[in-house]
Amino acid sequence: MTTQTTDIPPVEPGERRSWLKEHSELGVCVLLLALGVLVLTDALTMDVDIAQRGPVGPKTVPVVVGAGLLLIAALLAVDVLRGGRGQAEGGEDIDLSEPADWRTVLLLAGVFLGAAVLIEPLGFPIAGALLFWGAAFALGSRRIDRDPLIAAGLSLVTYTVFNNLLGVPLPGGPLMGVL
């Protein structure tokens, strides 16, 4: 019995990490691919009533978007494997040497999660006002005299436009009879 030897040296873990770091854009390709497959699967398994279909049915846009995502994922993967690299962020108004402001990020995440939890019991006008006010506070505004008024105005205008003009029903909460 003979053993064969190969001249290919084993790949070191450091070299593999280096290759992955140099081709990190492939992660975006995988994300686009997964999203495209999800959209196409959802669109193709959509239950459509024949009476509701026109010349362009409700499956058309999701199928086009899903196919577009797959195409972009493939083109980006080919570009990355051929040596293409994304351009580094220029940072025209930020100092890239400074660390991320995690306090602001966590405050904004908390405000968004709080609004998502409160929208059903309090309704959109109140939860939206808290969302706008909390986002302004998290981003640095400390005008306690005007920020709540602006937030309430924005929330009421948004509620009115969506609920009354566009016909998208939003929960009114305790203000349902007033608005």
The Cα-based distances of 133 to 103, 130, 155, 170 in angstroms read 17, 5, 10, 19
In which band, very low, low, confident or very high, does the pLDDT at 5 lie, cut at 50, 70 and 90?
Answer: low
- In whole numbers, what is the pLDDT of the chain averaged over residues? 83
Name the least confident of 6-15, 37-46, 73-82, 92-101: 6-15
Residue 48: pLDDT above 80? no
**At CA 156, angle to CA 155 and CA 162, rounded to 5?**
90
CA distances 178 to 107, 126, 156, 163, 175, Å, are 31, 13, 12, 14, 5
pLDDT band at 17 (very low <50, low <70, confident <90, very high): low
Per-residue pLDDT tens over the stretch 63-91: 999 999 999 999 999 998 888 776 766 65
Q: Left (φ > 0), alpha (ψ -120 to 50) or beta: where does 141 sit?
A: beta
Predicted local distance difference test score (pLDDT) of residue 163: 87
Global pTM reads: 0.53
Q: What is the pLDDT of residue 21?
A: 67
**pLDDT per position as a tens digit, 98-139:** 788 899 999 999 999 999 999 999 999 999 999 999 999 999
The band of 35, judged by pLDDT with boundaries at 50, 70 and 90, is: very high
**Predicted pLDDT of residue 60:** 83
Phi and psi at residue 83, to the nearest 5°: 110, 0
